[in-house]
Amino acid sequence: MESMKEEILELLADRGALPMRDIYTAFGYSTYTSGFRRCVYELMEDGRVEYVYPETPRSCRQRLRLSIRR
């Protein structure tokens, strides 16, 4: 799981803010799995990644990016 977190961080560092779909398809997943979801939420809890639009987390335009508060 830690390796997946590091790969997510590297992907966001390389490509910038991405929709969740682009992130999980980059790992070869066709759906948003519970393990992937857990990795993303742990990164968010640690303050390493954040939503671009935190006030509307379910927005169709939502993106995930590296935290600017790091």
Helix locations, the chain, DSSP H:
2-15, 20-26, 34-45
pLDDT recorded at residue 11: 96
CA angle, 30 then 5 then 59, to 5°: 55
Q: What is the pTM of this model?
A: 0.88
Bigger pLDDT: 68 vs 53: 53
User: Would you call 64 exposed, middle or buried from its count of C-beta atoms within 10 A (0-12, 13-18, 19+)?
Assistant: buried
pLDDT recorded at residue 70: 53
**Structural domain count of the chain:** 1
Residues 13-55: tens digit of each pLDDT: 999 999 999 999 998 989 888 999 999 999 999 999 999 999 9
CATH number, domain at 16?
Answer: 1.10.10
Domain extent for 57: 2-66
Other C-beta atoms closer than 10 Å to the C-beta of 7 total 14
